[in-house]
Structure 1
Amino acid sequence: MLISALIAVALADKTSRAIAQPLETVTNFAQQVARESNFNLQVPVTTNDEIGVLATSFNLLIQRVSEYTKELKQTQSQLIQTEKMSSLGQMVAGIAHEINNPVNFIGGNIDYANQYIEDLAGLVTLYQEYYPNPPDAILERIEDIELEFLREDLPKTLSSMKMGADRIREIVVSMRNFSRSDDGKMRSADIHEGIDSTLVILNHRLKQGIQVIKQYGKLPALECSPAQLNQVFMNIISNAIDALEEVKKEDKDYSPTIWISTEITPDNTVTVKIRDNGPGIASASAQQIFDPFFTTKSIGKGTGLGLAISYQILAKHQGKIEVNSQIGQGTEFVITLPVAA
């Protein structure tokens, strides 16, 4: 009897451990997943019984939660960036509209002012021909205002004002091109125009000593959403400027440069390459560079949304974006777009 009881106790203990241990393993994994938010963890499936089915079901649940989390992050990032770009686009379009009217007024009236001044200068010349010996008071006045210098310099001043007005008008056009809203439909657009508009918007940062070298190939018009592609160019070039500025702070003899090249490949795709001679990106970071909310910038300087949104925009255009980078060698982003998206 005693031996039978001991055997029963031993069997019961072994059976309870055989049941409890797999359950404990599943429980521990569940707690670790919840604690670390690590959806790469998988519960070992060692049996084909109910415990094995439970472990398999739990692994499927982890996988689905991982997929839902990624979708949620992408949706969240899209909502944030869409709202951000919508607000920015409205603001830029409003500023462009407000600037456009006075600039057109100034530019248009400079031509008239120039003609009036030429008429007045001609009248003064005519007076001098008929009255070559004016009174001393007039001679003193001519000397005080430096009449000959004024005649020569005033047209130059008006010409400079005209150039300034034309430059402002160019900026306004670029702002409109950059911020124009799309109705969700693809339409024909010039990629070079979008890049140039982006560079004009970023000119206040580029003129701090950053050289831009453009090597444009002959490209056909692309069916695309222009404002969305401009957003991609803005994100990439802005990131390049950020990286170059950091190096410039440390090395005063450094010559920060951005190269932008375009070409059409034999397989009828357009390639846009944007390269810088910045510090480069570590291999581990480069593998995550397009993940939502991932950033290599310091706290407060980056949201980790720009490249993630750029990736999604290009996917929408049936294109792709790749990064090539080495520490100390700079970074290159390669954008590929089909001619007919």
Structure 2
Amino acid sequence: MFEGVESSTILVVEDNPTNIKVVFNLLRDVGLRVLIAKDGESALKKLEDVLPDLILLDVMMPGISGFETCHLIKENPSTQAIPVIFMTALADTENKIKGFELGAVDYITKPFQQNEVLARVNLHLKLCKLTQELAEKNRELLNLNLCLEEKVEEKTSEIKSMQSQLVLQEKMSSLGQLIAGIAHEIKNPIGFIESNLKPAYDYAENLIDLVKLYQTYYPQPVSEIRERLVNTEFDYVAEDFPQLLRSLEEGTKRLTYISQAMRTFCRSDQSLPEVFDVHQGLDSTLLILKHRLQRNEQRPAIQVIKDYDQLPLITCFPGQLNQVFMNVLANAIDALDEAYQQGEIFQGDNQGNCIIIQTRYAEADQQVWITIQDNGVGIPLAIQKQIFDYLFTTKKVGKGTGLGLSITREVMEHHQGKIEVESIPNQGTTFRLKLPVEVSFAPDNSITAS
């Protein structure tokens, strides 16, 4: 896991002896050099003598807090470039935002999950090393002769590719962990409700039967009971209560389906390819995006029209393909939102604002085709060839990173597939995805068509 960064030095700032021991042994066992400081003051003092590659910083400590310590580290020119990961049990958004504003790169939550600690430390060590290499390459570029431009472009492309791969892995890992966690949390209360519905049915039936039995043998109860029966509308309740329980049962089935779809979507961390149902991936992605398809203050609901062919299962990394579906469908929704904001949606179109998803199987070529079409603002002809470029975006600041379609093309190429775009300004955009049914993946995850 720590290939290329084995000799890195980690400074752990933590006042709890048990936590110190856990983190120290965990990092030392994978070959990293570990330094310990028990509070913020001693950490700052230690940084005067040694500059580690990464700092793991506890938030709650005696003396100055982790936040103040981070502030002082980032104020010092000699230490401000060292990445800081907070270690904390404070999982609320406000504290996370405060940490990121102070310059932290990540959070590790307590109690520690060993795999999570190692994964995040490994990621940021590699990102730090990559940043240093990129800076070094940029310095070299300034001194290169014009005759070496071709070689410079090749190296720059290689670095960007490595960087985008790391961004893709972290983005998909974070998204997968988030969705998997939500799905897990939904599953537990669903199971509780499901397990209690059958006894609730039985209890309700027994109580209703008991009251009816009393009515049969004691048709003229005392006035207080008669009034209570009238006030509680017993006949209506006896008829409606079982229907209410059945509606609860239907609700739990719907939640179970949603939970399963979320788990399907977040299959992003598998190390080996597997067979995959493309339609299941598309449907789970649409479910994740369902809130964005619904009506809002700016526009009516977006209609999704499915035209599915009978497709074979394909060999792939499902989580990566789900990310492709997410990027393309999210862009289609953005285009429709923008069309309504500009008043350019075709009101005369009977379909209104819509996304059409079509799948086809080309048996002769053993290829699966997926077409995703919207009737949004479209893409200007002048920039259509640039939309897959690294860091290129037409969205406003804060709305787009320029990574979505670049990552999408990279994933498609990784699966020996292709992605094509056709767009007419003010009429809409069509993305066509082509994937081989069978692909042989090498041990290093490179692929060859079989």
TM-score range, shorter chain: 0.7 to 0.9
Residue 278 of structure 2: aligned partner: 191
| Uncovered stretches (5+) of structure 1, i.e. residues with no partner | 1-36, 38-56
- 1:278-325 C-alpha deviation (Å, 9 max, x unpaired): 110111221111111111111110001111111111111111100111
Question: AA paired with 1:112?
Answer: P
Please identify, of 115-124 and 277-286, the stretch whose mean Cα deviation from structure 2 is larger: 115-124
Equivalenced residue count is 286
Residue 223 of structure 2: aligned partner: 136
Is the Cα contact below 8 Å between 2:172 and 2:268 reproduced in 1?
Answer: no
Task: Tell me, yes or no, if structure 1 residue 302 matches structure 2 residue 389.
Answer: no
Task: Tell me, yes or no, if structure 1 residue 228 matches structure 2 residue 326.
Answer: no
Residue 34 of structure 1: aligned partner: none
* Alignment partners' CA distance in 1, 2:381 and 2:159: 26
Residue 146 of structure 1: aligned partner: 233
* Alignment partners' CA distance in 1, 2:163 and 2:336: 30
Task: Kindly indicate which of the two structures has a greater share of residues assigned to helix.
Answer: 1
% identity of equivalent residues: 50
SS in 1 for 2:412: helix
Residue 423 of structure 2: aligned partner: 325
Residue 389 of structure 2: aligned partner: 291
* Alignment partners' CA distance in 1, 2:325 and 2:207: 50
Please identify, of 102-111 and 197-206, the stretch whose mean Cα deviation from structure 2 is larger: 102-111
Is the Cα contact below 8 Å between 1:261 and 1:272 reproduced in 2?
Answer: yes
* Alignment partners' CA distance in 2, 1:277 and 1:261: 15
Normalising by structure 2, we get a TM-score of 0.61
* Alignment partners' CA distance in 2, 1:242 and 1:118: 51
- 1:20-57 C-alpha deviation (Å, 9 max, x unpaired): xxxxxxxxxxxxxxxxx9xxxxxxxxxxxxxxxxxxx9
Please identify, of 308-317 and 201-210, the stretch whose mean Cα deviation from structure 2 is larger: 201-210
SS in 2 for 1:287: helix
Residue 112 of structure 1: aligned partner: 199
Task: Tell me, yes or no, if structure 1 residue 246 matches structure 2 residue 338.
Answer: yes
Residue 179 of structure 2: aligned partner: 92
| Uncovered stretches (5+) of structure 2, i.e. residues with no partner | 1-137, 139-143, 296-300, 440-450
Task: Tell me, yes or no, if structure 1 residue 261 matches structure 2 residue 358.
Answer: yes
Is the Cα contact below 8 Å between 1:178 and 1:230 reproduced in 2?
Answer: yes
SS in 1 for 2:210: helix
- Say if 1:60 and 1:157 are closer, same or farther in 2 by CA, change over 3 A: farther
* Partner of residue 167 from structure 2, selected from 77, 80, 101: 80
Q: CA deviation at 1:64?
A: 1.6
* Alignment partners' CA distance in 2, 1:130 and 1:213: 60
Task: Tell me, yes or no, if structure 1 residue 276 matches structure 2 residue 374.
Answer: yes
- 1:154-210 C-alpha deviation (Å, 9 max, x unpaired): 222222222222222111111111112343322111111111111111111112211
Q: CA deviation at 1:224?
A: 0.6
- 1:218-270 C-alpha deviation (Å, 9 max, x unpaired): 00010110011001001111111111122233449953211111110132200
Please identify, of 200-209 and 178-187, the stretch whose mean Cα deviation from structure 2 is larger: 178-187
Name which one, 1 or 2, has greater alpha-carbon Rg. Answer: 1
* Alignment partners' CA distance in 1, 2:247 and 2:387: 45
Is the Cα contact below 8 Å between 1:182 and 1:226 reproduced in 2?
Answer: no
* Alignment partners' CA distance in 1, 2:318 and 2:237: 48
* Alignment partners' CA distance in 2, 1:172 and 1:249: 33
Larger RCO (CA within 8 A; separation ≥ 6): 1
Task: Tell me, yes or no, if structure 1 residue 212 matches structure 2 residue 304.
Answer: yes
* Alignment partners' CA distance in 2, 1:248 and 1:160: 37
Q: CA deviation at 1:78?
A: 2.0
Residue 98 of structure 2: aligned partner: none
Is the Cα contact below 8 Å between 2:173 and 2:269 reproduced in 1?
Answer: no
